[in-house]
Structure 1
Amino acid sequence: MSRSTGFPHHARIFEHLVDDAAVFPPGLAPTDVAVREHLDLQAGPYAAQLGPLLVPATAAAEVAALAARDPRAARSPIQVGLVVRPGGPLEPLADAVRLLHDESAAHVSSVEVGWSADWREVLELGPPVVVEVGRGPGQAQELDDIADAARQGARVRAKFRTGQTPTWPWPDEATLAGFLHAAVARGLAFKLTGGLHHVVRGDGGGEPMHGLLNVLVATHDALERAGTAHLVRTLEVTDVEDLVGRLTAFDAGDIDRLRASFTGFGCCGVLDPLTELKALGLLPERTTA
């Protein structure tokens, strides 16, 4: 069902919201395919909603070479997020940032690492840093550490995994609500990754999946000082009309605060949530970057 939501006012909620994680599971696109299709997206109708292309730090040289050969990247350079998975060595990041520093067709927009005792070394590289936190009792300490760096002026955000992996069980509503509440209470900006392929809470091929609209509304509610029990109920909503009604009631100030807090999410199939948003009438007929 399509509806009017007073564009461009509410379309700003989705600006540069979806990071392109095509090379990561379960998508696992080859790097050359991911670069070509990301450039297609940059020139397409969803350019305004597109975030950076996320790649392993070890793939930086290949991305740079591929971008340099595509004339579209010369006109509109690829924004690249360099990723080291939690537990991985940090050294490849330094090499990747140096390699891309003088590239004209690919720019580093951020670096992403897992929390570790030495994660702050990455701040010296220059780009904004995203730090993935775990779950359980240690999460509070990790968020405190990241928030302390942010208060000292570091350009840093937290990151939390919303989809399951072979080693990461799906975080249920209570687990995700706890993270949202904790991040917002610390004034800490965050991004999410994994699993947000659909606009509403559901069952994706037999596996539970959080909904993008649920998360957006829950983040807004957390900013309004709602407790975790309220956030759990919002994350459980399966009525898309209810969620759309709540979201389209946000005013400009609500949207600014929301996006300053929830900055984006990684998705291996960026068109999955975006085409659903379009079908709901939540995106303009034609968007521009």
Structure 2
Amino acid sequence: MSSVLDFAGLYPPALLEPKSAIERFAQLNNSPRDWMLGRLVWPAAKLEELSTLAEGLAPQAVAPTTEGAWAISCVLAPVGTPEFEQDLERVQDFNELHEQEGQAAMRIDSIEMRGNDAPSIELGLSQLPDDLFPYFELSLDTDPRGLIAALVGEEAGAKFRTGGTTPQAHPAAENLARAMHACAAAGVPFKATAGMHRALCHFNQAAGAKQFGFLNLFIGAAMIYGRKLDVEGLTQFLTVESVEDIDFSEKALSWNGVRVSTEEIIESRARFSHSYGSCSFEEPWDDLVAMELIRAIPSGGAA
């Protein structure tokens, strides 16, 4: 689970104020829990605010090294809009500023935007600099294979929205499984976002929907990446609700006769299922502690 959670505190349901979101990210980044923390997810329209608020919280840049710099995943406007080009300029200006000596050490190394069709994805790829890894958000309501095909052979990934604050925002398990299978078959990595504060599938009363768990997603991804499940099998695993149904050991885990080793999970994370965005760090962490999959760490101001 190393660097698995991209902190998106600005987004619902948390909807933290920018100052609170940055302070929380800084606190987590300097805590014993930082190993599970990935990037800070931030909208391009608020990059100037991030520059101001991060002073004194992020480490200072020491050229030419970027060690210790905060990694940022920036959310851009949809490809093909005037706002998209403006957002790209904002990203470039932000990175140039924060590599300067004495500035808050931060770097945008990945970006996220909607990819509505293959031509828009191809247009976006043609406009991007080589030092940004893009994730194109693809709809799960229709067969995504044509859009995923546009990403084959590119230094780019798909992004899947796995939940939200309304029942309608939650995709069917078979649709998510179909998209993950298509990515695995095409060799295209992905990240996910929304609706996965808990480790395993459960019904969320506030959202009025059954939500996927992040363990369902990442373990399922390792199984599909290793060609150990088909779409039907992955659909079933995405809806597993009890930790008792999964056999965990130090070197492997298994479900319904399907076994994946720790090494296979690590490879899947590195090459395929990169991370997921969440507005909460505490709920995912606490769920893993409750399941005795990680040890509790006293808060000490960092909980």
- TM-score bracket relative to the smaller structure: 0.7 to 0.9
Aligned residue for 1:131? 136
The residue type paired with residue 235 of structure 2 is V
Task: Find the counterpart in structure 1 of residue 64 from structure 2.
Answer: none
Aligned to 2:218: 216
Q: CA deviation at 1:175?
A: 1.1
CA deviation vs aligned residue, 1:263-288 (integer Å, no higher than 9, x gap): 1000011221122112222225559x
Question: Structure 1 residue 41: deviation in Å?
Answer: 0.5
Aligned-residue offset at 1:126 = 2.7
Indicate the structure with greater helix content: 1
What SS does structure 2 have at the residue aligned with 1:74? Answer: coil
Local SS of the residue matching 1:219? helix
- The structural deviation recorded for 1:77 is 3.0
Shift of 1:165: 5.4
Give the superposition deviation at 1:93. 2.4
Q: Percent sequence identity over matched residues?
A: 24
Counterpart mapping for 1:247-262 below 5 A: 248-249=252-253, 250-259=260-269, 260-262=271-273
Deviations 1:237-285 (A, max 9, x none): 1121223538942434312322021110000112211221122222255
Q: Take 1:125 and 1:83, find their aligned partners in 2: how far apart are those partners?
A: 17
Distance in 2 (CA, whole Å) between partners of 1:222 and 1:119 is 28
Q: Secondary structure at the match of 1:213?
A: helix
CA positional deviation for 1:174: 0.8
Q: Distance in 2 between matches of 1:45 and 1:197?
A: 20
Q: How does 1:177-256 map to 2 (within 5 A)?
A: 177-205=177-205, 206-225=208-227, 226-243=229-246, 245=248, 248-249=252-253, 250-256=260-266
Could you tell me which amino acid in structure 1 is paired with residue 243 of structure 2? V
Give the structure 1 partner of residue 44 of structure 2: 57
Distance 1:97 1:86, change over 3 A: closer
How many Å separate the matches in 1 of 2:203 and 2:168? 18
- Runs (4+) of structure 1 exceeding 4 A deviation are 85-88, 165-168, 284-287
Return closer, same or farther for 1:42/1:286 CA change in 2, 3 Å cut-off: same
* Structure 1 unaligned blocks of 5 or more: 1-13
Q: Which has the higher contact order (CA 8 A, sep 6+)?
A: 1
How many angstroms apart in 2 are the aligned matches of 1:143 and 1:180? Answer: 10
Once the two structures are TM-superposed, the CA of residue 109 in structure 1 deviates from its matched residue by 2.4
Q: The residue matched to 1:38 in structure 2 has which SS?
A: helix
Query: Retained in 2: the 8 A contact 1:67–1:78?
Result: no
Equivalent-residue separation in structure 2 for 1:233 and 1:61 (angstroms): 44
Moved more, 194-203 or 166-175: 166-175
1:98 to 66, 84, 92: 92
Which of 43, 46, 61 lines up with 2:33 in the alignment? 46
Contact 1:113 1:119 in 2 (8 A): no
Q: How many residues align?
A: 268
Structure 2 spans left out of the alignment, 5+ residues: 62-67, 254-259, 299-303
Give the drift of 1:65.
Answer: 1.4
Moved more, 127-136 or 163-172: 163-172
1:279 aligns with 2:284: no
Q: Is the 8 A contact 2:143 2:179 kept in 1?
A: no
User: What is residue 6 of structure 1 aligned with on the other side?
Assistant: none
Letter in 2 for 1:261: F
Asked whether the equivalents of residues 140 and 176 of structure 2 are also in contact (C-alpha less than 8 Å), the reply is no
Q: Deviations over 1:77-129 (max 9, x none)?
A: 32211102547631232222222223142211211111141221442263111
In 1, Cα distance between equivalents of 2:143 and 2:181: 15
Q: Which AA in structure 2 matches 1:141?
A: G
SS of equivalent to 2:150: helix
TM-score by length of 2: 0.81
The 3 A distance-change label for structure 1 pair 278 and 92 is: farther
Contact 2:74 2:111 in 1 (8 A): yes
Q: Aligned partners of 1:147 and 1:222: how far apart in 2?
A: 18
Aligned to 1:73: 59
